[in-house]
Amino acid sequence: MAISIQVNEKRIKGRRSLMLYGHFIEHFHRQIYNGIYDPQNPLSDEDGLRSDILSAMRQIKVPVLRWPGGCFVSSYHWKDGVGKNRQPFFDKAWRVEDPNTFGTDEYIKMCRKIGCEPYICTNAGTGTAEEMSDWVEYCNLESEGKYAKWRIENGSPLPYGVKYWSIGNENYGFWEIGAKSADEWGRLVKESAKMMKHVDPRAELSAAALSDLDWNMNLLKNCGQFLDWISIHEYWDMMAEKNEPATYEQCMAYTDHIDHSVDEVRGMLAAMKLDKKIRIAFDEWNLRSWHHPNVHTVRQGTGKEDYITPRDKNDDNSMYNMADAVFTACFLSAMNRNCDIVGMANFAPILNTRGCIYSYPEGIVLRSTYHVFDLYVNYLGDTVVDLWTPDSVPGMHVTGKNGQETDVETLDLLATTWSDRAGTALAVVNKHPSDSAAIRLSTAFEGMNVVIYRLNGSSPDSYNDVDRTEVSVRKEELGMFRENMEISVEPHSVNVIQLVP
């Protein structure tokens, strides 16, 4: 039976920010070195950046790119990574030597080549408020002070104009170098924000939070007047110690109330009357957490085979199948539905590890999640409008990785329009592993052409790899709209349906 869908284009839920489709890159494994930055590779440009990776990033119009971490940043001192006299250092977060050849200036060049906004995460672990504000000086002051003059000396006469800054990473966590108590965090963020705003009042500041009442209340009470954003992170399929990915069905269990942390933080902001001033930056997220055993633990690995070699397991492309694509689409749809309060989200990371792009010396692989960003960025509208179903959406019974049973709706639905042209675009995600579904467009779209873009593979476990493409987008012309038109969507699929003149 087809599910009837009603769309009211006049009931606007919000104008979503392009930054909901943002990304993140960290000095971890092959994300930077032997990843995007690979000067010896013949595919790299004059600045050592891989041209094929840059091109793939431009295709999905990366709007904002968070850097340099992540846990890495909590022992990173930016001044050691600019200028001519750079020395390798031991990265205490990931326990490897960083050559220090990719720093602020290289990052800004990369952002400009991608065409995205830079978003710098500062060291609130071993760093100080002064060090953070010095970084703002280096990037944003025209010529005042020694740090702006240092940037000019390093070959950049014009300011970088970095608008987005995060004070710290996951400083609430025991795993973070320089972790803080709630009281310590409120004090540090307040003093750091004051100094950073004194350097550049136009800078927009975020600070690490989580859906924890005590932590957030302390942060907002002390620092709410200085902040423009509040940062939250979440991974669902936790695999830091054991690289045992959840099955397709288990991943679907994670889609139940996928935006729970948004609801919780929204409530805190509203209670403190800050929901009109501070927006949520979901600036680190992915279905699957990164695999890095024996590092974020009390007992550390002693041999590299215990804690570095296992990170190669992140590069197994067979792991990134339609479960990842379906989950990613559900997350992005949820953020669109919360676009009144969520203004930024950053998929972690964009390259290698759990990224949507995988690189190897001779080229790249576009994983299933890459095509989700392609669909949402390039085929959906920028205005979220009301959508409802008079019929009950079918559910399916699934068992989560933790053994808990739950019921989830098989369809995830989102309606959008464009602010600059006529038309409607629907995102329709079918989570069911084996059954197709049908929707009926009962709203009148007379005179509109109907086009569907289908992202799928032959099975829930389909994936892309070197010389293997099982997951891709297919365009299908469905003709002119007909009243009560029914459209079939395949199992385990992500779809965008456009109704355009």
- Together in a domain, 100 and 191: yes
User: Choosing from 26, 106, 117, 170, which is the catalytic residue?
Assistant: 170
- Together in a domain, 230 and 136: yes
- Residue 241 has what DSSP assignment? S
CA distances from 229 to 105, 226, 267, 286 (A): 25, 9, 15, 20
Q: Quote the pLDDT of residue 83.
A: 96
- Together in a domain, 47 and 164: yes
Stretch 215-229: mean pLDDT, rounded? 93
| Per-residue pLDDT band at 98 (split at 50, 70, 90) | very high
Stretch 23-28: mean pLDDT, rounded? 98
- Together in a domain, 487 and 387: yes
- Together in a domain, 358 and 391: no
- Together in a domain, 338 and 487: no
| Percent with pLDDT over 70 in the chain | 100
Cα–Cα distance measured from residue 314 to residue 164, given in angstroms and rounded to the nearest whole number:
29
- Together in a domain, 268 and 311: yes
- Together in a domain, 320 and 171: yes
Q: Taking 80 as the threshold, does the pLDDT of residue 211 lie above it?
A: no
Burial 379-388 (b: 16+ CB within 10 A, else e): bbbbbbbebe
CA distances from 296 to 5, 92, 185, 246 (A): 47, 11, 21, 21
CATH number at residue 279: 3.20.20.80
Q: SS3 of 331, please?
A: helix
Cα–Cα distance measured from residue 231 to residue 205, given in angstroms and rounded to the nearest whole number:
10
Phi and psi at residue 114, in whole multiples of 5°? Answer: -75, -35
User: What's CA 497's distance to the chain center, in Å?
Assistant: 24
CATH number at residue 486: 2.60.40.1180
| Per-residue pLDDT band at 484 (split at 50, 70, 90) | confident
Q: Quote the pLDDT of residue 1.
A: 80
Strands 485-489 and 229-237: unpaired
Q: Taking 90 as the threshold, does the pLDDT of residue 210 lie above it?
A: no
Cα–Cα distance measured from residue 480 to residue 483, given in angstroms and rounded to the nearest whole number:
10
Q: State the chain's mean pLDDT as an integer.
A: 96
pLDDT in tens, 384-426: 999 999 888 999 999 999 999 999 999 999 999 999 999 999 9
Cα–Cα distance measured from residue 319 to residue 125, given in angstroms and rounded to the nearest whole number:
33
β-sheet bridge partners, residue 498? 425, 451
Q: SS3 of 201, please?
A: coil
What is the domain extent for residue 268?
12-379
Q: Quote the pLDDT of residue 245.
A: 97
Q: Taking 90 as the threshold, does the pLDDT of residue 307 lie above it?
A: yes
Both tokens assigned to 343: 């203004």
Nearest alpha carbon to residue 368 among 318, 331, 436: 318
Q: Quote the pLDDT of residue 442.
A: 81
Look at 212 and 209; give whichever has higher pLDDT.
209
CB 123 within 8 A of CB 77: yes
pLDDT in tens, 128-141: 999 999 999 999 99
The domain total for the chain is 2
- Together in a domain, 357 and 407: no
Q: Taking 80 as the threshold, does the pLDDT of residue 212 lie above it?
A: no
Helix residue spans in 17-75 (DSSP H):
51-59
Cα–Cα distance measured from residue 418 to residue 395, given in angstroms and rounded to the nearest whole number:
31
Overall pTM > 0.85: yes
**Last residue of one domain, picked from the residues 338, 353, 379:** 379
**Last residue of one domain, picked from the residues 379, 414, 443:** 379
pLDDT in tens, 29-66: 999 999 999 999 999 999 999 999 999 999 999 999 99
Q: Taking 90 as the threshold, does the pLDDT of residue 347 lie above it?
A: yes
Q: Quote the pLDDT of residue 234.
A: 97
Stretch 484-500: mean pLDDT, rounded? 96
Q: Quote the pLDDT of residue 213.
A: 81
**Last residue of one domain, picked from the residues 379, 395, 412:** 379
Q: Quote the pLDDT of residue 101.
A: 98
User: Choosing from 9, 137, 284, 490, which is the catalytic residue?
Assistant: 284
Q: Quote the pLDDT of residue 359.
A: 98
Stretch 99-115: mean pLDDT, rounded? 98
Q: Is 191 a catalytic residue?
A: no
Stretch 454-462: mean pLDDT, rounded? 98
Q: Is 470 a catalytic residue?
A: no
| Per-residue pLDDT band at 261 (split at 50, 70, 90) | very high
Cα–Cα distance measured from residue 198 to residue 295, given in angstroms and rounded to the nearest whole number:
37
pLDDT in tens, 174-208: 999 999 999 999 999 999 999 999 999 999 999 99
Q: Got the DSSP string for 153-194?
A: HTT--S-----EEEE-SSTTSTTSTT---HHHHHHHHHHHHH
- Together in a domain, 348 and 400: no
- Together in a domain, 362 and 389: no
- Together in a domain, 215 and 84: yes
| Percent with pLDDT over 90 in the chain | 95
